Amino acid sequence: MRPFFALAVAIASEILGTTALKLSDGFTNPLPVVAVVAGYSASFYFLSIALEALPIGQVYAIWAAVGIVGTATVGVAYFGESLDATAVAGLALVVAGVALLTRSDAYAAAH
């Protein structure tokens, strides 16, 4: 399996698991609880596949950043949450930080 495809599946699974966690109402709603366990299990499984071929720092940074942005997007789209300018700037800084990390010469030389 291609490592970046595995990483994409890991990210999608993590967003699914986190969304289900919100829907579980403190683990009192059984169907979302199953989705939490399945989502996080799949996420870590596919994350491990990505880690077989890609550097851990790059994989974790991308997984975390895209997961944060994706989860925030789900919050806005499905739960009516809002993001003010400060929150949007924070999300942009997370993405910019990951982009800089994965493109830096020092990081590339270490991996």
Q: What pTM was computed for the model?
A: 0.89
Residue 86 CA to residue 40 CA, distance in Å, equals: 29
Tens of pLDDT, residues 16-67? 999 999 999 999 999 999 999 999 999 999 999 999 999 998 899 999 999 9
Whether the per-residue pLDDT at 110 is higher than 80: the answer is: no
Helix (H) or strand (E) holding 42: helix 30-51
CA distance to 10, 29, 44, 88, 111, per residue, from 34 (Å): 17, 9, 16, 31, 37
Tens of pLDDT, residues 59-106? 999 999 999 999 999 999 999 999 999 999 999 999 999 988 888 765
Residue 88 CA to residue 51 CA, distance in Å, equals: 29
Query: Which of 45, 36, 37 has the alpha carbon at shortest distance from 10?
Result: 45
Calculate the average pLDDT of the chain. Answer: 93
